[in-house]
Chain A
Amino acid sequence: MKRTIRLLCVLLSLVLAGCVLAACGDKGRGKYDPDNFIADTSNPQIVKEKITIKMFVPKHSLHSSYADMRLFKEMEAITNIHVEFVEANTESYAELRATSWEDTSIDAYLFWNDLSEQTTYASLGMIQPIGEYIDQYAPNYKALMDADPEIEKRTTLDDGKIYSFASLNTVPRDLTFKQFINQEWLDNLDLDMPETIDEFYNVLVAFKTQDPNGNGFADEIPLSSVGLNQTRNFLMSAFGYVSTGIEVGADGKVVFVPTTENYWEYIQFANKLYNEGLLDPDVFSMNADKDLAQKGSQGIVGCFDGGAAYLIVGNTYDAQYTGLNPLTSSINSQKMWLSFDNEVSPDTIVIRSTSPYVKEIVRWVDFLYSELGTQLESFGKEGVDWSWDDEEHTSWTFHVPEGMDIEEYRGTITPNVGLGTIPYWDGDFVLKDSTVQVQNINKAVDEAGYMDYLKVSYPNSVTFTAEEAAELSTLETDINNLVESREVTMIAKEDLTRADFEKFVSDLKAARVDRYVELHQIAYDRYMAD
């Protein structure tokens, strides 16, 4: 007994000593050697002797370990910089990130640097302004900045300095949502693509009554959606607003769309569709794409929203669908479509002011904006993960190993899976993907012409002060809850009257929607004044 205890004690002290040593080792990493850095940007290698840089990153469940990703392995070979990743689960990312600042050995934070956080850290002097370094050591990024003034505008904080690289997105299909409609059904019934909301209604009626899939049963569901997800934005845009939330009107005045007459038009229309069975009766009880895919894969859904048609209807029916173009109505003659406002987001990387490796990191990040970097970070290495189909490089094919899902495989190549962010999602390369399904999405976006009608509802780069944010947080939950529950009730109601809408608006007023709009107006005006 005594012996066991003694043994335990010895073991414990060993463990403790180990911890202390480990802590020492952490602090004692090599001194910074300025001569090690290669300033010549035409040389892809960044340092002479290999160095290690520590970065904090969000880790999604689809990712393999960052250290094992093809992108970073290739980058290490090219740049001679080894990156040690501190991975934070995306579920508890915010908390982990907040506490990670105590670890001064972290050099940089890759991805998910939101603007209000940047402003706070910048004011505390905890992150490094990198404007000058970009001029000197980031030729690829600098060229993009010169081509698009928006990049500089979005990354510059109130103090006039730049603290982050922006993530850029030039792939049309990812700049908005897609509303798909079955072109073959339209052809079968000899109908034109609808241009107005009334024509759209007629199309839906025809879908329901004239058996467009020709199987002899009236099994068609003209319009379906998972909880009206983006379909509400599609319908709303016919009535003059691109979203059902906060939106900036043409005159620069902020409005909350559900309090407008336009919203009432939308509710009436959706209510009519629901009660006439044109809108899927299960619309509010579906929670996930797979619920809708169950119907879609039977070839009975006429129109729906989603990331890609094949995700809902499967490969069998994928080719039948195309993008439905923006509609107009009697109260709105202007075609418009919701923009995700994600072409330029100042969130790629921030460097801590305690880090000695600012130049190295700037060069390292700049690589991600080069042609090779763009390819690596989106689909991996040429000849291994993908290869050109022809000499002229007009298209390429992605080689997914047998039995592996595309996104699953990409998770072993790049962190651009599940996160919704990547330094440069370059249309020039990405659009050349020859996969049929992907080409179909590109075609749908192209045919519907979404890019010509994009409108931002409320700019993502507007920031709120801490007090405003705190006040907004409860207001927002109150108001969103109200809209969420009443939208369903009003649309599903059999005898909807104007009184229902008026009650809804007066309840919104009671939930202080005016203050909610006012706060957004103040922040928006501040943003526009800069």
Chain B
Amino acid sequence: MENESTRAVTVVGEKAAKRLRRRRSAVSKLGLRHWQLWLLILPGLVYLVLFCYLPMYGVIVAFENYSPILGVFGSPWVGWTNFRSLFNSYWFEIMLVNTLELSLYSLPVNTIFPIVLAFLINEVRHSWFKKSVQTISYAPYFVSVIVTVGMCYTFTDAGYGVVNKLFGLFGVEAKDWMYEPAAFNFIYILSGLWQGCGWWAIIYVAALSSVDPALHEAATIDGAGRFKRIWHINLPAILPTAIILFIMAMGGIMNVGFEKAFLMQNSSNLVASEIIATYAYKVSIAATGYKNYGFGAAVGLFNSVINIVLLLAANFGAKLLGKESLW
């Protein structure tokens, strides 16, 4: 679609260029002969420059002992000190491992389960049933994080929690699971899956609807069962989508949802719940005394660099495998 329209525009543009070339070669070099197109793209460009590129100068705060009084350009320059104190921190290893664990566990879970759900929804014949399943499964997506975490606390309470009542039937001792470091990752990922599974499945359901029914008919005639058809037709059909989404997810691996980890955090599970973002929050914004914004910015920069590296690596890997890639 996009390619076609671009091509069409180019063709029109070339005709116009021929007319203009004699008159203003300099203007045509700048591409101003398509000034209408430039005008169309202008708001987008302005937005991008104004809100995405200009604020980037703020990244120099990461190399400063930043004080709001002295400002971005007036604060003393400290070089790599902020990064050094991040790497030298006693908690650095712990929180890096926690961050990566959360990401790496949730990545496959959040990729595989929505695909399976999409397959299941796709196989349902009754459209009313299909629609209700879809609606019910993506409804939790609209529950806010704070409510979700509140539910987690309630459900896992040692006294009245549903989870403990259920475990009690199997003779498991009642525990406040939100206060168990070992249970943190599990609760985090499971509640995340409950919230997001139906939502993420929508994309795959859409991709599945574009599969040519002729393929299924041909396969049925050849004697393929449901599972065979899913395996050989549906899966290859949504693989490109899955790969793209996976690559994008790799780019966000260090950006583990801050709010949720922070809300789920308490003194008892701190060893498992302290992630890089919550630590940076404590040192910078939430600090009671000196708010070390420079450090916060350094952590943000560090995260971004790792994210970009991982994104490029995943993209490169996908390319090597000869599959879909971002560029």
Contact = CB atoms under 8 A, between A and B. Distances in A.
Interface stretch (A12-20, A93-101, A383-391): A93-101
Interface stretch (B9-17, B64-72, B241-249, B318-326): B64-72
Contacts of B274: 481
Contacts of A489: 268
A470 B62 CA distance: 12
B253 to A, nearest CB: 23
B190 interface: no
A485 interface: yes
Contacts of A473: 283-284, 287, 289-292, 295
B63 interface: no
A116 B90 contact: no
Contacts of A464: 289-290
Contact of B65 (A94, A121, A467, A511): A467
Contacts of B220: none
B282 A477 contact: yes
Interface in A257-304: 284-285, 287
Q: Which of A94, A467, A485, A512 has the most C-beta atoms of chain B within 10 angstroms of its own C-beta?
A: A485
A147 interface: no
Interface in B288-308: 289-292, 294-295
Given A101-B69, A117-B69, A285 B179 contact: yes
A76 to B, nearest CB: 31
A482 B90 contact: yes
A489 B270 CA distance: 11
A340 B70 CA distance: 31
A161 B274 CA distance: 44
Contacts of B266: 284-285, 287
B69 A485 contact: no
Interface string A219-230: 000000001000
A124 B69 contact: yes
B69 A284 contact: no
A79 to B, nearest CB: 31
Contacts of B204: none
A184 interface: no
Contact of B85 (A99, A287, A474): A474
Contacts of A507: 90
B68 A98 contact: yes
Nearest to A227: B267
Contacts of B158: 285
A35 interface: no
Nearest to B84: A474
Interface in B66-120: 67-70, 76, 78, 81, 85-86, 89-91
A492 B179 CA distance: 12
Interface in A469-521: 469-474, 476-478, 481-482, 484-485, 487-489, 492, 507, 510-512
B69 A470 contact: no
Contact of B76 (A98, A227, A466, A510): A466
Interface in A317-349: none
A470 B91 contact: no
Contacts of B65: 466-467, 470
A90 interface: no
Given A227-B267, A473-B290, A487-B267, A98 B86 contact: no
Contacts of B270: 481, 484-485
Interface of A: 94-95, 97-99, 101, 116-117, 120-121, 124, 227, 284-285, 287, 464, 466-467, 469-474, 476-478, 481-482, 484-485, 487-489, 492, 507, 510-512
